[in-house]
Structure 1
Amino acid sequence: MAKQKNTNPQHNEGPVATAIEEQTAKLPSDLFLWAALGSMAASLVLQAQGDRDRSLFVGQWAAPFLILGLYNKLVKLEGHD
């Protein structure tokens, strides 16, 4: 897929967003998958130890890690403005 020219000149990313995207693009995509799996494993261990509240808290980290991984992949494929 070819990168399209920005047709809306008022919609440019700021320097902070550009810097964040440049740094996160350096992270391997597997990192986020392993973080999600690790949070699920930690949740399972906490559940087995009887710490239900912490287990639920840590188990809910998986979805944000996967979303961050998706964002990371999009930045790598499409780049930034």
Structure 2
Amino acid sequence: MPTNSNPEHSEGPVAKAIEQQTAKLPSDLFLWAAVGAIAASAVLKIMKKDKEALFVGQWPAPFLLLGLYNKLVKLEGSE
């Protein structure tokens, strides 16, 4: 793993543990979760469940952000 270029800014034990666990997940898991949420939202909309469709339709962006975080942790490491 790369060393931290600024020793004054180190990660805490909780952040390190989260990054070690999330780095084990495949990056495309988050992409497929986002695609699945889009599909589920579309199905709910077709079923006239508008509130549920809007709720589920907000999930893809966080899934994609988590995927980006996952990729950065894999490329850069936690410290």
TM-score with structure 2 length normalisation?
Answer: 0.93
- Letter of the structure 2 residue corresponding to residue 48 of structure 1: I
Equivalent residue for 1:65? 63
Report how many residues are paired: 79
Structure 2 counterparts to residues 1-12 of structure 1, below 5 A: 5-12=3-10
Specify which of 50, 53, 61 is matched with residue 55 of structure 1.
53
SS in 2 for 1:19: helix
CA-to-aligned-CA distance 1:13-69 (integer Å, 9 cap, x gap):
001100100000000001000000000000001000001011011011000000000
Structure 2 counterparts to residues 39-50 of structure 1, below 5 A: 39-50=37-48
| Partner Cα separation in structure 1 for residue 9 and residue 61 of structure 2 | 29
Aligned-CA RMSD value = 1.4
C-alpha deviation, 1:6, in angstroms:
2.9
Equivalent residue for 2:77? 79
TM-score with structure 1 length normalisation?
Answer: 0.91
Identity of counterpart residues, as a percentage? 68
Which portions of structure 1, spanning 4 or more consecutive aligned residues, are displaced by more than 4 angstroms?
Answer: none
Task: Tell me which of the two structures has the higher relative contact order, counting C-alpha pairs closer than 8 angstroms and 6 or more residues apart.
Answer: 2
